[in-house]
Structure 1
């Protein structure tokens, strides 16, 4: 009687596991929409995205046009588009967009300049993390709008306090997200670099930085939304231009159509910035894309 070798035993175990997996898949309902962690056809993706936008707009139009909700509280999509066209023709919408964009991009850029190097250092060196993490852990739970009185007291009512408010509200979360990205760099890559004769500088520049760059871009995508939230708060205090200021003035005079117009413009700009982050990720990190 022939005794099975270890290789034959392992091969039979693999075959058994494969057969069990195939039987379990056969029991599942075959569908493209519910495949776990698998891509769906591009044409289906675009159709689903179109539905996700068209259905809310259709519901909005039905509710506002049938009179279920008064136009004072819910204007029709047509009225909102007319409001956007009127504000654009008056050249006020362009000014508001420029001021809000300047404040958001300035505050976010300052936060990125500080948070990305700091987060990389905190994730790389435990000594840096031990020194900085307790202070960041305390400060990140302080609401950024709570700093408005101090910022106005220190810097007046100009652009500086508005930009610093966005900087404060973005800095700490971006730092911690970058630090977490560095912490998940495989230890084997670092040890292999040391084995091949590399030093700390090579590990930092040739292993850690390329590995975390896609995560840094993703962190920027997330925290850009926080910057837009903060600019609205900043423009509610002592601002004469900006989309947040436009919404505040419209609320004061019950111009609901202008409120919706401001929200739609903010959402459109945010979507454009998000797509720009995705394009940057796709062009600069092709090795990290599927």
Structure 2
């Protein structure tokens, strides 16, 4: 029978220990400028080109005012308080329409996505109505609601309801079936399964629908504020159009763009907070 040989372990000194090397991801090694600066390069170049064309006379002021004139007009509107009042009025309309349309769209999507009977009763109607151009309904809204704030809010609500409905419905129906079966195997009740499995699984699609709905809300707001508006960014734009003030028109367009950019940034923050559990590809 072979004899067992005892092995002696010599203590390893710190100097003999292998050196730990920090491995840096390839994306970080190739990173140059910070992302906010890189994202700003395109808009800065566009404004610089606009300025050059205005200074050289390629773009006359009657066609498009230059950046310096636009900034001066924006400062004047801000000093008089007109711009702040217009922004608040437009934000109020957009928020009211999004709240109404979002509530309707999400509620119908949950009913249609969770229940087959709900899908049979709701989905075909929603698919039919979403193909109707929203702008074509403005005359009916004026007849139904008058020429006050109601038709503007109704137009925004209608425009924002369908993107949220489609994305939330798709998110619910695209939840991994194996997760649902695992929840049933663990004995989760139907309300608990909806809360802990289905709704979190549908959240990414819901946030995509929210981002799309916010973009559509600004588009509907532009059309809605053409209907006998007495306040708002669209009201300023209409007055500027009558007096051929291209600088004020550009100020209003920039305000629409900045508001859309701000709300999109807010939704991106929500995605980072609510979807921190879901690793995703962030670009090479």
* Band of TM-score, shorter chain: 0.7 to 0.9
Q: CA deviation at 1:258?
A: 0.3
1:238 to 213, 228, 240: 228
Q: Distance in 2 between matches of 1:253 and 1:176?
A: 42
- Quick one: structure 1 residues 86 and 216, their matched pair in 2 at CA, closer, same or farther if it must change by over 3 Å? same
Q: CA deviation at 1:41?
A: 3.0
1:272 to 253, 262, 269: 262
Provide, for residues 77-130 of structure 1, a one-character-per-residue CA deviation record: whole Å limited to 9, x for no partner. Answer: 010000100111111111110110000010001111121122123222222112
Provide, for residues 202-227 of structure 1, a one-character-per-residue CA deviation record: whole Å limited to 9, x for no partner. Answer: 22111011122232122111110100
Does the CA-based 8 Å contact 2:159-2:213 persist in structure 1?
A: no
The answer to whether structure 1 residue 114 and structure 2 residue 104 are counterparts is yes
Moved over 6 A (4+): none
- Quick one: structure 1 residues 92 and 289, their matched pair in 2 at CA, closer, same or farther if it must change by over 3 Å? farther
Does the CA-based 8 Å contact 1:140-1:173 persist in structure 2?
A: no
2:275 to 269, 282, 285: 285
Which residue is 1:7 aligned to? none
- Quick one: structure 1 residues 66 and 283, their matched pair in 2 at CA, closer, same or farther if it must change by over 3 Å? same
2:37 to 22, 44, 47: 47
- Quick one: structure 1 residues 74 and 39, their matched pair in 2 at CA, closer, same or farther if it must change by over 3 Å? farther
The answer to whether structure 1 residue 102 and structure 2 residue 92 are counterparts is yes
Decide which moves more: 170-179 or 231-240: 170-179
Does the CA-based 8 Å contact 1:143-1:169 persist in structure 2?
A: no
Q: CA deviation at 1:40?
A: 6.5
Decide which moves more: 120-129 or 145-154: 120-129
Mind listing any 5+ residue stretches in structure 1 that lack a counterpart?
Answer: 1-31
Does the CA-based 8 Å contact 1:174-1:219 persist in structure 2?
A: yes
The answer to whether structure 1 residue 252 and structure 2 residue 242 are counterparts is yes
Decide which moves more: 161-170 or 46-55: 46-55
- Quick one: structure 1 residues 193 and 40, their matched pair in 2 at CA, closer, same or farther if it must change by over 3 Å? farther
Which residue is 1:182 aligned to? 172
Does the CA-based 8 Å contact 2:108-2:122 persist in structure 1?
A: no
Which residue is 2:151 aligned to? 161
Which residue is 1:204 aligned to? 194
- Quick one: structure 1 residues 39 and 84, their matched pair in 2 at CA, closer, same or farther if it must change by over 3 Å? farther
Provide, for residues 137-185 of structure 1, a one-character-per-residue CA deviation record: whole Å limited to 9, x for no partner. Answer: 1111111122212211121122111111111111122201111111211
- TM-score normalized by the length of structure 1: 0.83
The answer to whether structure 1 residue 229 and structure 2 residue 215 are counterparts is no
User: 1:86 aligns to what SS in structure 2?
Assistant: helix
Mind listing any 5+ residue stretches in structure 2 that lack a counterpart?
Answer: 1-25
Q: CA deviation at 1:42?
A: 7.2
Q: Which has the higher helix share?
A: 1
Does the CA-based 8 Å contact 2:167-2:208 persist in structure 1?
A: no
Q: CA deviation at 1:264?
A: 0.5
Q: Distance in 2 between matches of 1:130 and 1:61?
A: 56
The answer to whether structure 1 residue 150 and structure 2 residue 130 are counterparts is no
Provide, for residues 27-67 of structure 1, a one-character-per-residue CA deviation record: whole Å limited to 9, x for no partner. Answer: xxxxx8xx9xx997373523321211211111111111110
Q: Distance in 2 between matches of 1:267 and 1:47?
A: 19
